[in-house]
C-alpha cells in the first residue's frame, strides 16, 4: 500500500481535549447518513452556494500516486476530551503509522492567529488529506486548502458555515461529520428536572456560527416548553464567568460552544452557587461537572470521520459526492454529584432511563 502522510492540526483546542478519528477494525463500516437530530432544520436553513467551490474536487483515484503527505487537523477550544486530535489510526483500515502512514499533529493552543497561520502552511504542504475539528478550524482550512480533500468533524451546521453546498451533496473538496445536537431534547430536560421552571439562561460565543445555530434552535424549543430565554453572549473565554454570574434564571444551558466550554468551570460554579441545574450540549461537560445532557458520543463521531478518511485515501472517494454524515444515537448522561452540589433532585424515572449515571 502506498504511504500516506497525515498532518493533524489542532489550532483551537486545549490539550485536555481528546478526539480520536479512528478507522474500524471489524470489517464493514458503520455509516450514518444525515437524518438525525436537528438535521431537517439544517436542510431548511441551507442556502445553496453554487459556484463557490466549482472545480475543487478532492477525490483520489485508486491509481493516483501518493506523496506521503500530511493530514491536517484543526480543532477549536473547549471541545470534549474525546474530540481532541482527530488522528487517523490507520492500522485498522490498512494503514500503520510509521510504515505507510505519517501523521503530523499541529496545535494552535487556542490562538486564532496561530490557527490561521497553520492552515496557510498546510495549503502549501504535500498532504493527501487534511482534517479540521470544529467550525472555526474547518472554515480556516476550507479557505486555505483547495486542491486536496478536507475533512471536518464536530461542525454543527456545515451549510450555514459555508463549508458545503448541501448536506447530501457537498459539491467541493470538503465534507465530514456534523455534531448537530438534539437541542430540543436537551432543553426539554429542564422541565423534567423542575416542572415549575420558567426561564433558562444560555451562554454562547457571538462569533461562532455553530453556537448561533444552536441558540436559535434552543429558543424555538424553549418557547414550546413555555420557558423564557435569557441570552448572554461572550467574545472570549475570560467573559464566561461574568456572564454566568449575571444570570437570574431557573436553569442554565451551554451548547457545544468552544469558548464557553473552555471556561465551563466558571459556569459550573455559578450553577452551584445559584442552586440551579446546568444542562450541557455534550457528555464531556457533564463529566466535568454539568448536571445532564442528551448528547452525542464524540469518540464514535471521530471514529466515523476516520472511516470517511479511509474511503477517500484508500478507495478514491470524492468529497464532492460524499454526504455529510451524522450520528444517529445519543446518550442520556447524568451527574448525580453535580446534582447534589446544585441542590437539584433528579427524578428516579430519569435516572432509570439514563445511559450513564455519574455517582
Q: pLDDT tens, 18-76?
A: 344 443 344 333 333 333 344 444 544 443 333 333 333 344 333 333 333 334 444 44
| pLDDT computed for residue 7 by the predictor | 55
Cell 493533524 belongs to residue = 8
- pLDDT tens-place string over residues 90-99: 456 777 777 8
| pLDDT computed for residue 172 by the predictor | 96
- pLDDT tens-place string over residues 279-304: 999 999 999 999 999 998 888 888 89
- Whether residue 113 is predicted with pLDDT greater than 70 in this model: the reply is yes
User: With bands split at pLDDT 50, 70 and 90, how would you rate the model's confidence at 133?
Assistant: confident
Separation of alpha carbons 86 and 140, rounded Å: 16
| pLDDT computed for residue 124 by the predictor | 87
- Whether residue 271 is predicted with pLDDT greater than 60 in this model: the reply is yes
Size (the chain), residues: 359
- Is there a contact between 244 and 252 (Cβ–Cβ < 8 Å)? yes
| pLDDT computed for residue 52 by the predictor | 36
End-to-end Cα distance, the chain: 48
Separation of alpha carbons 297 and 323, rounded Å: 20
Average pLDDT of the chain is 79
Lowest mean pLDDT among 10-19, 154-163, 210-219, 260-269: 10-19
Percent of the chain residues topping a pLDDT of 70: 73
Separation of alpha carbons 262 and 134, rounded Å: 14
| pLDDT computed for residue 68 by the predictor | 33
Separation of alpha carbons 103 and 178, rounded Å: 23
Name the most confidently modeled range: 26-35, 85-94, 304-313, 337-346: 337-346
- Whether residue 78 is predicted with pLDDT greater than 80 in this model: the reply is no
| pLDDT computed for residue 21 by the predictor | 47
Specify the higher pLDDT residue, 298 or 103.
Answer: 298
| pLDDT computed for residue 1 by the predictor | 59
Q: Taking residues 122-143, report their average pLDDT.
A: 87
Q: Taking residues 158-169, report their average pLDDT.
A: 95
Separation of alpha carbons 7 and 106, rounded Å: 7
Name the most confidently modeled range: 57-61, 69-73, 189-193, 312-316: 189-193
User: With bands split at pLDDT 50, 70 and 90, how would you rate the model's confidence at 210?
Assistant: confident
| pLDDT computed for residue 4 by the predictor | 64
- Is there a contact between 71 and 126 (Cβ–Cβ < 8 Å)? no
Amino acid at each position: 500500500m502506498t504511504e500516506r502522510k497525515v498532518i493533524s492540526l489542532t489550532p483551537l483546542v486545549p490539550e485536555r481535549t481528546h478526539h480520536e478519528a479512528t478507522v474500524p477494525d471489524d470489517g464493514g463500516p458503520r455509516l450514518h447518513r444525515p437524518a438525525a437530530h436537528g438535521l431537517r432544520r439544517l436542510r431548511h436553513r441551507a442556502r445553496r452556494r453554487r459556484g463557490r467551490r466549482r472545480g475543487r474536487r478532492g477525490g483520489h483515484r485508486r491509481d493516483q500516486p501518493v506523496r506521503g503527505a500530511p493530514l491536517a487537523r484543526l480543532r477549536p477550544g473547549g471541545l470534549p476530551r474525546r474530540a481532541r486530535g482527530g488522528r487517523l489510526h490507520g492500522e485498522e483500515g490498512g494503514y500503520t503509522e510509521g510504515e505507510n502512514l505519517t501523521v503530523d499533529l499541529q496545535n494552535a493552543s487556542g490562538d486564532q492567529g496561530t490557527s490561521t497561520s497553520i492552515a496557510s502552511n498546510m495549503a502549501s504542504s504535500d498532504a493527501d488529506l487534511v482534517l479540521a475539528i470544529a467550525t472555526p478550524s474547518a472554515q480556516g482550512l476550507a479557505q486555505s486548502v483547495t486542491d486536496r480533500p478536507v475533512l471536518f468533524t464536530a461542525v454543527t451546521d456545515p451549510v450555514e458555515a459555508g463549508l458545503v453546498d448541501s448536506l447530501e451533496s457537498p459539491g467541493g473538496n470538503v465534507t465530514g461529520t456534523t455534531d448537530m445536537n438534539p437541542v430540543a431534547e436537551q432543553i426539554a430536560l429542564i422541565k423534567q428536572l423542575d416542572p415549575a421552571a420558567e426561564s433558562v439562561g444560555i451562554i454562547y460565543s457571538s462569533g461562532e456560527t455553530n453556537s448561533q445555530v444552536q441558540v436559535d434552535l434552543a429558543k424555538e424549543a424553549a418557547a414550546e416548553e413555555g420557558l423564557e430565554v435569557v441570552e448572554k453572549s461572550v467574545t472570549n473565554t475570560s467573559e464566561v464567568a461574568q456572564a454566568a454570574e449575571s444570570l437570574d434564571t431557573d436553569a442554565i444551558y451551554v451548547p457545544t460552544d468552544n469558548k464557553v466550554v473552555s471556561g465551563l468551570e466558571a459556569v459550573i460554579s455559578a450553577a452551584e452557587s445559584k442552586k440551579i441545574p446546568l444542562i450541557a450540549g455534550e457528555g464531556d461537560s457533564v463529566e466535568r461537572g454539568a448536571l445532564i445532557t442528551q448528547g452525542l458520543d464524540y469518540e464514535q463521531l471521530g471514529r466515523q470521520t476516520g472511516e470517511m478518511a479511509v474511503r477517500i485515501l484508500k478507495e478514491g472517494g470524492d468529497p464532492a459526492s460524499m454526504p455529510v454524515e451524522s450520528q444517529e444515537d445519543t446518550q442520556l448522561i447524568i451527574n448525580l454529584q453535580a446534582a447534589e452540589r446544585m441542590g437539584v433532585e433528579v427524578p428516579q424515572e430519569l435516572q432509570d432511563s439514563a445511559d450513564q449515571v455519574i455517582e
